[in-house]
């Protein structure tokens, strides 16, 4: 349970607490690391997108692990929102 809460808090920080919103775009088990006190840390921001406040969507590029990608990644000329990270977290 602590692992899930740590990841959820990390996603909340990226989406709501950063000055510029960060959409990770690749939340999956391989990108969750544990520190020495077993606190989960989100890693691998290679596909991350920045989204200014007031803008709800950003351009997508499909390079993540497909089984964790939100359905909107499958569309041609796709754009994603923070909902894509929530979908991946839930899967």
pLDDT in tens, 2-50: 999 999 999 999 999 998 999 998 999 999 999 999 999 999 999 898 8
- With cut-offs at 50, 70 and 90, classify the pLDDT of residue 65: low
Strands (E), 1-91: 21-23, 32-34, 40-42, 49-51, 58-59, 79-80
**How many Å apart are CA 45 and CA 64, to the nearest integer?**
11
pLDDT for 79 equals: 74
| Both tokens assigned to 88 | 């991946």
Asked if 48 and 11 count as a contact pair (C-beta separation under 8 A), the reply is no
pLDDT for 53 equals: 64
Q: What's the predicted TM-score (pTM) here? A: 0.78
Domains of the chain plus CATH, in order, are 2-90 (1.10.510.10)
Q: Which residue has the higher pLDDT, 25 or 74?
A: 25
pLDDT for 35 equals: 96
pLDDT for 81 equals: 84
């Amino acid at each position: 349970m602590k692992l899930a809460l740590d990841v959820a808090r990390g996603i909340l920080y990226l989406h709501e607490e950063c000055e510029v919103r960060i959409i990770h775009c690749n939340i999956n088990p391989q990108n969750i690391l544990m520190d020495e006190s077993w606190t989960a840390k989100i890693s691998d921001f290679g596909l991350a997108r920045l989204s200014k406040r007031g803008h709800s969507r950003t351009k997508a590029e499909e390079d993540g692990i497909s089984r964790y990608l939100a359905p909107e990644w499958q569309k041609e000329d796709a754009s994603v929102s923070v909902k894509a990270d929530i979908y991946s977290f839930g899967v």
